[in-house]
């Protein structure tokens, strides 16, 4: 129900090229130490339509549990935009990352987080909306603050162990 979408957005500037930021945010190792999340990508390579599963913590080669959240890359414009849709039982979260060159040779990173509830009646949605809005905005700000750590992590990772993800 589009009237119940909650959208949070933020922009930050980092002193790195768009290519470096893209590699750090659109391609992750099977385990992201910055976020403490493991990703399992179905198939090889990343493009629009790529599906993945994610779980908190390390998987260390194990498969994610059967109920692990499933996601899909819904937009893929290399070095410009990536968007993922993460489906949880009562809700859907869409994360969009837009990259643009900044005047100082850095990169402007804009993160947009959209939440859509899939369950609950009108009263429940009204009660939860303020909380969801705060959680979404706090998440955007937290993720923007982590961008430099993601860049450092990506530069330490050997290319052959990187697993595409969103």
Residue 159 has pLDDT above 80, yes or no: no
Nearest to 128 by CA among 84, 91, 85: 91
Residue 7 has pLDDT above 50, yes or no: yes
Nearest to 7 by CA among 114, 84, 138, 135: 114
Confidence of residue 112 (pLDDT cuts 50, 70, 90): very high
Confidence of residue 160 (pLDDT cuts 50, 70, 90): very low
Q: What is the CATH number of domain 2-158?
A: 3.30.530.20
């Amino acid at each position: 129900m589009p009237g119940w979408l909650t959208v949070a957005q933020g922009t930050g500037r980092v002193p790195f090229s768009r290519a470096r930021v893209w590699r750090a945010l659109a391609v992750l190792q099977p385990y992201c130490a910055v976020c403490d999340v493991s990703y399992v990508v179905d198939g090889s390579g990343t493009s629009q339509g790529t599906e993945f599963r994610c779980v908190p913590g390390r998987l260390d080669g194990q498969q994610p549990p059967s109920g692990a959240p499933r996601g899909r890359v819904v937009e893929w414009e290399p070095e410009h935009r990536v968007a993922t849709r993460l489906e949880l039982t009562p809700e859907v979260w869409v994360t969009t990352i837009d990259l643009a060159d900044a005047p100082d040779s850095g990169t402007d990173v804009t993160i947009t987080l959209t939440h859509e509830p899939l369950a609950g009646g009108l009263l429940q949605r009204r009660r939860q909306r303020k909380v969801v809005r705060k959680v979404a905005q706090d998440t955007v700000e937290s993720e923007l603050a982590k961008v430099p750590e993601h860049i450092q992590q990506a530069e330490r990772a050997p290319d052959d162990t990187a697993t595409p993800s969103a």
